[in-house]
Each structure stands twice: as structure tokens, then as C-alpha cells.
Amino acid sequence: MANGPTADWHGLVEIAEYHNDVIAALERFFTPQPDRLEGSLVNQSAADLEIVLANRRKETDLRSCLVLLASIEASFRVDYGTRCSTKRKDPLSRDLRLIYKKYGLRVSFEDDLLRLWVHHYPVLKPVVGELRGAMKYRHWIAHGRYWQPRLGKRYDFTEVYVLALAVQEQFPFVN
Amino acid sequence: MATITFDELVRQEQEAIQVSSAGEFNPFRERDAWLERLDELYGKVEEFLADYVKSGGVKIAYESIRIEEEQVGSYSAREMLIFVGRKTVRLEPIGTFLIGSKGRVDVVGPGGTGRLTLIGRHITDISQLVRVSVSLDGSLPSLPPRMSLSERGWVWKMMGRPPKLSIRELTKDSFLDLLAEVANG
């Protein structure tokens, strides 16, 4: 069982910096200087380019949200792995080890991990509620966005980033 | 098959609203307070831009948009449009049931997006918004009391982009700087 994240794992700051770099690059690419544009973008008006840029920003925002939400889930799974392999004595770790005996690493993030965290730390219920809501957004993106999601609020990179920070600040992960 | 009749649903919802209005957290009251704060923000921005509007360099208009929030459903809010010559900047209200803040308005222009956030007057750092201490031995702190929007102490501030999410006071100068940044695409 892995005890910690691999070198491929990206922290919140790295994800945000990558996101900002992509947005900056897109803004530079779509600056109306036709000699710098390629393919289907040549000969488009400044107003058209603005619309294309807005769509690219939106798409980038959505993809970055998926990476952020996956990273949040990874934090829980790494913590789970560590608690199950280090024989910690606290009640949460004991319960997680019981789950591990049954499901191993194929544990459900929402049904098992989040449920046990709230059971042992009721004070975290508000942020777990937010997280469950955001996971609907994650599923919608990850499964191809072919249906109209009923999310109950608008998600974007900033909102999901604040949620990720709240998780990082509030959950006493042991990884 | 429905597990609840429509009559029961209506009664449940009415009871929920009555309980809420008896001093508990009332999402509809929060929504109304947020819309009032939104009007206050627009008033402030109109003051910031008054000289430019007077000279004809800037025009301001409003449009109605729909916001969807789980706690209160769909409702309409005003979006401010600022026209600076050929550039248009929108002040787009995002909602009030957010993590760490009581409301957010995005300032969207061809050059990017800035954020205005409704937070406690004392907040100067993002970590103050998201922190709840939980001890490793499992002892549980009590939940902080939920502050209603109708209470004093909420102010509009400017929030930077992730990862820093720096928080700045909203002043005429800071707003005009933001406007110049997002309008200049």
C-alpha cells in the first residue's frame, strides 16, 4: 500500500500556477495580432476572438476544477493508506482499518471515507457537505458532460480552490 | 412512485420557512440580504465612476440574470455592465451560499477576471476564512455560530486569483486598477 503521494501528484499551488499559466498563454495567443494566429482563427474579428477566448477560459477553468477535485480525493486516499498501514490508535484510523479489511484500496470516497470522517469529526460536516456537492460537478465533467447537471450552485476554479484550501486546513490528515 | 404527496410537501416547506423565520438560519432572508448588499456594491461602483460617467467616457447599464442556488432555488439579480469605449466589463453576481464568504461578484472583461467578495471586516487573509481547528486526538471543538448577513461587519473586498487569493480593501483606486486590468484585453 502506498504511504504517500508519488512524484506525479500535484499540490494545490502547483495546480493553480499551471492554471494561471494556461490562462495567460491563451490571452496572449488571442491578442488580436493576426500574424500570430493560426488555422481557423485567421481573419476573425476582434469581437469574434473575444468570444473564442471566453470559451477557452471557461473550458480551461472546468478542466482545472477536475484536476483540483481529483487532488482533493487523492488527499483522502493517501491519508487512508497511511492510517491503515501505520496502526494508529485513534477511533477514525481504527474504523478505516475495518473498512480496509473489507474493501482494501477500492474503498468508496463518498460512501466510506467521507461518511467515516463526518462520523468521527462532526465539526467537519459543513465542508464535507460542500465537498459532496462539488463531487457532483466532478462526476459531470469526468463522465463527459452529456447531461444537464443539477448542481445547486455555480462552480468555478476559484470556488473549488477555496474548498480545497478548506479541506487542507480543516482535515487533520496524517500523510 | 412518489414517496410524499404534494399536500405533504407544501406543508413541510411552509413549516420549514416558519421555523426559519423564528430566529433560525433562513436562506431566503440571507438571499434578500445578499441582494441588498449587491445594490450597495453597485452604488459604491457608481460613485467610483461618477466623474467618468459625467464626462461621457464611461456608461453604466444593468441587466437581469438568473442565479441558481440549492438553498433557495432560482432567483433574479442585477448584473452591472460598464462600457469603457469599445470595451465592456460585467460585474457578474455569483451567489451567496459560498465557502468562506457571503457573496461574490466577478468583474469580467476582455483582459481577464477579477473578484469582489463579501467577507468579515476583520478578514485580511484567506486562511482566516477556511480554518476550523480539529485536534488529532479526536476531541471536537464546537461549531462557530453562523453569522447572518443581516448582522453588521460584512464588507466588500477584492480577492486575488488562486493560489494567493490575496485580499485587498475595495477603494476607488483599487477598483479602478482592477477595471483597467480586466478591460484591457
ipTM: 0.82
Alpha-helical runs (H) found in chain A = 12-29, 46-85, 91-103, 115-120, 125-142, 157-170
Q: What is the C-alpha to C-alpha distance for residues A80 and B136, in angstroms, rounded to an integer?
A: 15
**For chain A, which residues make up each domain, given as ranges?**
12-170
pLDDT in tens, A26-73: 988 887 665 666 677 777 787 888 889 889 999 999 999 999 999 999
Whether A152 sits inside 8 A of B70 (CB atoms) is yes
Q: What is the C-alpha to C-alpha distance for residues A83 and A38, in angstroms, rounded to an integer?
A: 52
CB B79 within 8 A of CB B63: yes
| Model pTM score | 0.83
Chain B residues touching chain A at CB-CB below 8 Å: 67-71, 94-95, 97-100, 104, 110-113, 115, 126-127, 129-132, 134-138, 140-143, 159, 161-163, 165, 185
All residues of chain B having their beta carbon less than 8 Å from the beta carbon of residue A154 are 67-68, 94-95
Nearest-by-CA chain A residue for B113: A57
pLDDT confidence band for A25 (50 / 70 / 90): very high
Residues 6+ apart with CB under 8 A from B76: B64, B65, B66, B67
pLDDT in tens, B29-85: 999 999 999 999 999 999 999 999 999 999 999 999 999 998 899 999 999 999 999
Nearest-by-CA chain B residue for A11: B163
Task: Using DSSP, state whether A117 is helix, strand or coil.
Answer: helix
* Residue of A134, A129, A100 lying closest to A114 (CA atoms): A129
